[in-house]
């Protein structure tokens, strides 16, 4: 078994030297630094695009084979429309919240699809059953689903290295559904920050109506884990001073001159004009610092064939010229502007000499420059000014964080950084370095793979189909137990799902089955349902079993009266009812066929009789509105089968099961338990005492239960056999 790493570009750059010889060297960048150790130390192959090399003499192919690299080949015009077109003219501005810069082209989309297919085909050439595939970044969002279509049981993960916007922003793109489904072909998806993970989960819920939890999405019955893994940097490399006497620029070497440093790829997301304006404002407001402070701004050329990048370069250079013209002195120029890539050694030298580092993007997925600067400051000195819109800001609270749009505040922060005493600088840098060292690039990759493997191991534990031939053995295995606690859901389990809940009344077949169940010796049966007490009194109490109503809120044990397990005061209900009902009624009016059910302890919006696609979309919107409305209360929102339910956070079927077990002094050493249900709300039952719970899901395989049956009719046969085996 091997790991297949997939990225848009291979971790090497090929070219031709002055003599016409083919050359190849390692590339730089955050993704390469994060993955190179994994690739070197594991049984892996790295797949990516290398670039058109029409005069290839075989040396590059030999290099790739030796270094376990596999090249994806695409016609130049397809790659251009895929990469410069859809990836960077459509997805890049969308994900960075620059909707005005987003272009839409069907030709670009078709090229994006074709390129993703080419990557999937290349992966397929190298894939063997048991291999794991790790796909990287926004250029390849369709690849996971393409792979799963070829290999349904494939282990595939995806990591998103740029921001993921809120659902309101993401919904603006025409191919939103295809992109979401493409990613959900993976079984594990990683982002740099919790915000990005949350935005993605909200988008899947809103766009395709997927069932979601805090960090998991369920597509059909396949769980997709969504997790947060901030990328680190190669601390050993950036913490090493390669030259004890570096040939620094003259002005940097002058110790009486304070140096502010910016190193950025030339991109409209990096906030370069705003940074320059803030530096100019600082000089205007603090004339005493003129001649004493210098900004070295390095702009690395990027995507030079895209018009918007020509425009940002022109804007930056005009600002540099204006500020230098206004604030230069005979022996001092306030901004040194460098438009080129710097060798790694020179970058490290700049980091180690800069008094202040400014990293102020308008939006950035993470930004490793700030971490590289910290890693380089082995002297524990220096000060970091960091945009709150960089993903790394969530980890770097000791930096001076700014809103890059607030020019005056950034100018004020520059002054604060200059005036900060050494002890505070060292205190902040010490904390930043400790975290950066502990969470480096190797730790990022190893942690991701470990968590991915853990999720796959859990996913392998999907419920086993309970064949009819195994029913008798199932019950025989429990023969030695003193008591068996049997918990049965109602809708979808004991009774088929109906369009309107009031139509799901017990059938004569169910009456017959339950008559046998209550006669089972040493079996304590409880029906656990979300139905109100009135329904239970009318249709379920007659069976003589225990009944838990309204998701654990009420309990009726055998023939005793009702006991309220979850006490909800009328005052609590009155606080939320007017607003909740107003919102629910507005959706009843907007979605024909929907209706509201009011129970003693909860409110339910039903949409079983509605247009499925439209109603499912509206259910997601309703759920998001309710979550915002109830965020500071003890009420929560739950999505069931064609329902949206509002109830107390601690009221769930699992709580009802636990209450019954406690009531009867359940002991796992002498007793056994079985929970049976078909819905996400029933998974709370399956989670109770998982080591002892012989849980059964009605429907497709389920990751929260040990067994599954296809439908209520199979459950009836299963219970009939229990009567024959134990009766």
Tens-place pLDDT, residues 87-139? 999 999 999 999 999 999 999 999 999 999 999 999 999 999 999 999 999 99
Give the model's pLDDT for residue 249.
47
Strand 356-359 relative to strand 602-606: parallel, antiparallel, unpaired? unpaired
- Give the whole-number percent of the chain exceeding pLDDT 70: 94
- Please write the tens of the pLDDT for every residue from 250-273: 444 455 789 999 999 999 999 999
Establish how many alpha carbons lie within 13 A of residue 439's alpha carbon, considering only the half-sphere containing its beta carbon. 18
- Smallest Cα–Cα separation from 684: which of 708, 663, 715, 705? 705
Pairwise CA distance, residues 172 & 168, whole Å? 7
Alpha helices for 479-636 (secondary structure H): 508-517, 533-539, 570-590, 612-629
Q: Mean pLDDT over residues 444-469, rounded?
A: 85
Establish how many alpha carbons lie within 13 A of residue 704's alpha carbon, considering only the half-sphere containing its beta carbon. 23
Q: How confident is the model at residue 462 (pLDDT cuts 50, 70, 90)?
A: low
Asked if 190 and 225 count as a contact pair (C-beta separation under 8 A), the reply is: no
Q: How confident is the model at residue 319 (pLDDT cuts 50, 70, 90)?
A: very high
Largest CA distance in the chain: 103
597 three-state secondary structure: strand
How many other C-beta atoms can be found within 10 angstroms of the C-beta atom of residue 31? 21
Tokens representing 664? 């009867």
Q: For the domain with range 236-438, which CATH number is right: 3.30.800.10, 3.40.640.10, 3.40.605.10, 3.40.50.2000?
A: 3.40.50.2000
Q: Mean pLDDT over residues 177-206, rounded?
A: 95
Asked if 392 and 401 count as a contact pair (C-beta separation under 8 A), the reply is: no
Give the model's pLDDT for residue 251.
41
**Is residue 69 within a helix (H) or strand (E), and if so which, with residue range?**
strand 69-72
Q: What share of the chain is helix, strand, coil (3-state, %, to 5)?
A: 45, 20, 35
Q: How confident is the model at residue 362 (pLDDT cuts 50, 70, 90)?
A: very high
Establish how many alpha carbons lie within 13 A of residue 562's alpha carbon, considering only the half-sphere containing its beta carbon. 16
Residue ranges, CATH 3.40.50.2000, the chain: 3-228, 236-438
Pairwise CA distance, residues 116 & 132, whole Å? 18
Strand 562-564 relative to strand 595-598: parallel, antiparallel, unpaired? unpaired
- Please write the tens of the pLDDT for every residue from 144-160: 999 999 999 999 999 99
Residue ranges, CATH 3.30.70.1020, the chain: 570-648
- Please write the tens of the pLDDT for every residue from 168-187: 999 999 999 999 999 999 99
Give the model's pLDDT for residue 252.
47
Q: For the domain with range 464-566+651-726, which CATH number is right: 3.40.50.2300, 3.40.50.1000, 1.10.260.40, 3.40.50.960?
A: 3.40.50.1000
- Please write the tens of the pLDDT for every residue from 606-642: 998 888 878 887 888 898 888 888 877 878 888 887 8
Asked if 44 and 68 count as a contact pair (C-beta separation under 8 A), the reply is: yes
CA 26 to chain centre: 30
- Please write the tens of the pLDDT for every residue from 381-439: 999 999 999 999 999 999 999 999 999 999 999 999 999 999 999 999 999 999 999 99
Out of 54-58, 95-99, 200-204, 720-724, least confident range: 54-58
Catalogue the active-site residues.
489
Residue corresponding to tokens 């999405």: 217
- Please write the tens of the pLDDT for every residue from 660-694: 999 999 999 999 999 999 988 898 899 999 889 99
Residue ranges, CATH 3.40.50.1000, the chain: 464-566+651-726
Q: Could you write out the three-class secondary structure of 618-661?
A: HHHHHHHHHHHHCCCCCEEEEEECCEEEEEECCCCHHHHHHHHH
Global pTM reads 0.76
Give the model's pLDDT for residue 33.
78
Task: Name the more confident of 434 and 303.
Answer: 434
- Give the whole-number percent of the chain exceeding pLDDT 90: 65
pLDDT reading at 571 higher than 60: yes
Q: Mean pLDDT over residues 217-225, rounded?
A: 85
As to burial, measured by CB atoms within 10 angstroms (0-12 exposed, 13-18 middle, 19+ buried), residue 130 is exposed
Q: Mean pLDDT over residues 324-332, rounded?
A: 92
Of the segments 34-38, 297-301, 463-467, which one has the largest average pLDDT value?
297-301
Q: For the domain with range 3-228, which CATH number is right: 3.30.70.1520, 3.40.50.2000, 1.10.10.10, 3.90.870.10?
A: 3.40.50.2000
pLDDT reading at 558 higher than 70: no
Total count of residues recorded for the chain: 727
Q: Mean pLDDT over residues 477-493, rounded?
A: 92
Q: Which CATH fold topology does 570-648 show?
A: Alpha-Beta Plaits (3.30.70)
DSSP 42: S
- Average pLDDT over the chain reads 90
Q: How confident is the model at residue 723 (pLDDT cuts 50, 70, 90)?
A: confident
Establish how many alpha carbons lie within 13 A of residue 71's alpha carbon, considering only the half-sphere containing its beta carbon. 19
Q: Mean pLDDT over residues 590-597, rounded?
A: 91
Tokens representing 191? 């982002």
């Amino acid at each position: 078994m091997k790991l297949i790493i997939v990225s848009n570009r291979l971790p090497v750059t090929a070219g031709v030297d002055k003599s016409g010889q083919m050359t190849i060297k390692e590339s730089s960048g955050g993704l390469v630094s994060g993955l190179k150790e994994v690739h070197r130390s594991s049984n892996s192959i790295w797949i990516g695009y290398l670039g058109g090399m029409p005069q290839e003499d075989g040396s590059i192919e030999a290099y790739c084979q030796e270094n376990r690299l596999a090249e994806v080949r695409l016609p130049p015009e397809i790659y251009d429309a895929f990469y410069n077109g859809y990836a960077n003219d459509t997805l890049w501005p969308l994900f960075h919240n620059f909707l005005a810069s987003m272009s839409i082209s069907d030709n670009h989309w078709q090229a994006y699809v074709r390129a993703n297919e080419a990557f999937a085909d290349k992966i397929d050439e190298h894939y063997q059953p048991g291999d794991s595939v790790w796909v990287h970044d926004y250029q390849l969002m369709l690849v996971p689903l393409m792979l799963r279509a070829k290999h349904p049981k494939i282990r595939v993960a995806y990591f998103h290295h740029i921001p993921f916007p809120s659902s309101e922003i993401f919904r603006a793109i025409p191919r939103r559904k295809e992109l979401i489904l493409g990613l959900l072909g993976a079984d594990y998806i990683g982002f740099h920050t919790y915000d990005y993970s949350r935005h993605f989960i909200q988008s899947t819920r809103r766009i395709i109506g997927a069932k979601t939890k805090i960090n998991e999405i369920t597509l059909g019955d396949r769980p997709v884990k969504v997790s947060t893994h901030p990328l680190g940097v190669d601390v050993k490399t950036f913490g090493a001073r390669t030259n004890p006497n570096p040939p620094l620029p003259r002005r940097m070497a002058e110790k009486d001159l304070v140096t502010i440093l910016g190193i950025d790829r030339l991109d409209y997301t990096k906030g370069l004009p705003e940074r320059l304006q803030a530096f100019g404002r600082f000089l205007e407001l603090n004339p005493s610092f003129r001649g004493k402070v210098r900004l070295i701004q390095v702009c690395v050329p990027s995507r030079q064939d895209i018009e918007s990048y020509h425009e940002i370069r022109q804007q930056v250079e005009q600002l540099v010229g204006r500020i230098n013209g206004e604030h230069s002195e005979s022996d001092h120029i306030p901004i040194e502007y460098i438009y080129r890539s710097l060798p790694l050694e020179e970058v490290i030298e700049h980091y180690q000499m800069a008094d202040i580092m400014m990293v102020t993007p308008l939006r950035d997925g993470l930004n490793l420059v700030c971490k590289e600067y910290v890693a380089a400051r082995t002297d524990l000195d220096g000060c970091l000014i960091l945009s709150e819109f960089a993903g790394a800001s969530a980890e770097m609270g000791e930096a001076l964080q700014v809103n890059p749009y607030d020019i005056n505040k950034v100018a004020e922060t520059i002054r604060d950084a200059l005036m900060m005493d050494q002890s505070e600088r060292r205190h902040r840098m010490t904390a930043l370095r400790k975290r950066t060292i502990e969470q480096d690039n190797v730790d990022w990759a190893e942690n991701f793979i470990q968590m991915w493997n853990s999720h796959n191991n859990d996913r392998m534990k999907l419920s086993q189909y309970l064949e009819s031939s195994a029913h008798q053995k199932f019950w025989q295995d429990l023969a030695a137990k003193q008591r068996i606690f049997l918990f049965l859901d109602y809708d979808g389990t004991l009774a088929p799902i109906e369009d309107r809940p009031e139509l799901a009344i017990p059938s004569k077949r169910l009456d017959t089955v339950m008559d046998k169940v209550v006669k089972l010796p040493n079996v304590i049966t409880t029906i656990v349902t979300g139905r109100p007490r009135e329904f239970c009194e009318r249709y379920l109490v007659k069976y003589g079993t225990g009944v838990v109503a309204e998701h654990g809120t009420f309990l009726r044990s055998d023939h005793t009266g009702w006991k309220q397990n979850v006490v909800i005061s009328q005052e609590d209900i009155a606080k939320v009812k007017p607003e909740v009902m107003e919102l629910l009624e507005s959706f009843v009016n907007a979605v024909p066929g929907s209706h509201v059910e009011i129970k003693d302890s909860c409110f339910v919006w039903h949409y079983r009789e509605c247009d499925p696609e439209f109603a499912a979309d509206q259910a997601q919107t309703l759920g998001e509105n309710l979550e915002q409305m109830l965020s500071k209360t003890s009420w929560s929102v739950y999505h069931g089968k064609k329902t949206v339910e509002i109830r107390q956070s601690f009221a769930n079927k699992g709580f009802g099961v636990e209450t019954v077990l406690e009531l009867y002094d359940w002991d796992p050493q002498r007793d056994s338990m079985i929970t049976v249900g078909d819905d996400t709300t029933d998974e709370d039952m399956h989670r109770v005492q998982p080591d002892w719970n012989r849980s059964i899901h009605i429907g497709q395989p389920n990751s929260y239960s040990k067994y599954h049956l296809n439908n209520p009719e199979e459950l009836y046969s299963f219970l009939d056999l229990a009567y024959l085996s134990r009766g």
